[in-house]
A = this chain, B = another copy of it.
């Protein structure tokens, strides 16, 4: 029996250092309205969607750094935060679910790169994820380096990879561990969240795969690829730099969707921030076989829409990626035992 969901990635074009939150949220509401007019039930927004991608700056003024974060005392608070409330109100009004990334400042003053899943029907944040693979630097490797100082501004996410079910998104839910129809009325599509660099790490996807995820949601801010970040940028064209970064974005989304037999939706912040910092587009919807079924055509505000049938996930999950039958965790020990490189045993 088909299990159809209508989904959208809401890609956001250039947002500058001096862009106001209000203007950005107004653009996000336009995107939401466009997606809703196409019939979308779930709309995915980018990582740190409410502001420019501030980790590129080395701030001299701590107050400016703090101004890019939202106060989030836990629970539903981000949806009630006056800075960003209009977006969540609109989702509640339309009865659609949204996933959105933002800089989170906790009540105890910690800073995380966070995303929430907000259920439009219940009006509640039902899942929160904090980015685990925080990339980049604490300090620029050389003055003026075009790098992201995420390790300076964000702590490592401490919520793990907890899949969740979205209530009311789709009927005919299935149990993850048996594939049987879920008749207790509690279940629905199984969803996981990742943020940007997480998507490059198979270790981020597999925990969701093991929880039976049918849909993985990803927000990102990715710049055109420099040849070697430890050196000033090589003379490479903007187009080539974008194409190289897009290649790795697509490869990561497509392979991991295939290897976990899940659909994925990625939404990017893109375009030329401040007229000089280039971020790739390529927001996409990928099927559980690894094929891109919809992809952004611009590097500007754009809704990427698709109707997907979550039932397709079962083909892989019961066959080649039937984990219970085919995984061999007794041979994977080094993956969790070891963080960095270890010398291979010498055989001669």
A279 in the interface, Cβ–Cβ < 8 Å? no
A143 in the interface, Cβ–Cβ < 8 Å? no
Q: What are the interface flags for A208-243 relative to B under an 8 Å C-beta threshold, 1 for contact and 0 otherwise?
A: 001111000000000000001110000000000000
Given A341-B324, A342-B211, A347-B127, are A333 and B336 neighbors across the interface (CB < 8 Å)? yes
Chain B residues within an 8 Å CB radius of A212: 341-344
B259–A200 touching, CB < 8 Å: yes
Chain B residues within an 8 Å CB radius of A294: none
A336–B332 touching, CB < 8 Å: yes
Contact of A133 among B289, B326, B333 (CB under 8 A): B326
Chain B residues within an 8 Å CB radius of A247: 290-291
A345 in the interface, Cβ–Cβ < 8 Å? yes
Shortest CB-to-CB span from A157 to chain B, Å, is 8
Q: Of residues A161, A228, A325, A348, which shows the largest number of chain B Cβ atoms within 10 Å of its Cβ?
A: A348
A126 in the interface, Cβ–Cβ < 8 Å? yes
Contact of A164 among B207, B340, B347 (CB under 8 A): B347
A197 in the interface, Cβ–Cβ < 8 Å? yes
Question: DSSP majority for the A interface?
Answer: loop
Chain B residues within an 8 Å CB radius of A348: 122, 124, 126, 165, 167, 186
B259–A190 touching, CB < 8 Å: no
Chain B residues within an 8 Å CB radius of A256: 202, 255
Shortest CB-to-CB span from A29 to chain B, Å, is 26
Chain B residues within an 8 Å CB radius of A336: 329, 332-333, 335-336
B341–A323 touching, CB < 8 Å: yes
A206–B335 touching, CB < 8 Å: yes
A135 in the interface, Cβ–Cβ < 8 Å? yes
A331 in the interface, Cβ–Cβ < 8 Å? yes
Q: Of residues A206, A213, A290, A341, which shows the largest number of chain B Cβ atoms within 10 Å of its Cβ?
A: A341
| A residues lining the B interface (CB < 8 Å) | 122, 124, 126-127, 132-133, 135, 156-157, 160-165, 167, 175-177, 186-187, 190, 197, 200-203, 206-207, 210-213, 228-230, 247-248, 251-252, 254-256, 258-259, 289-291, 315, 317-329, 331-348
Kindly list the 8 A-B residue pairs having the minimum CB-CB distance in the complex, ordered from nearest: A324-B340, A202-B202, A255-B255, A163-B344, A211-B344, A177-B341, A323-B340, A336-B336
Interface CB pairs A-B, < 8 A, 24: A126-B347, A127-B347, A133-B326, A164-B344, A164-B345, A175-B343, A177-B341, A202-B259, A203-B327, A206-B332, A206-B334, A210-B335, A210-B342, A212-B343, A230-B319, A248-B290, A251-B251, A251-B255, A255-B256, A322-B340, A323-B339, A327-B339, A329-B336, A333-B336
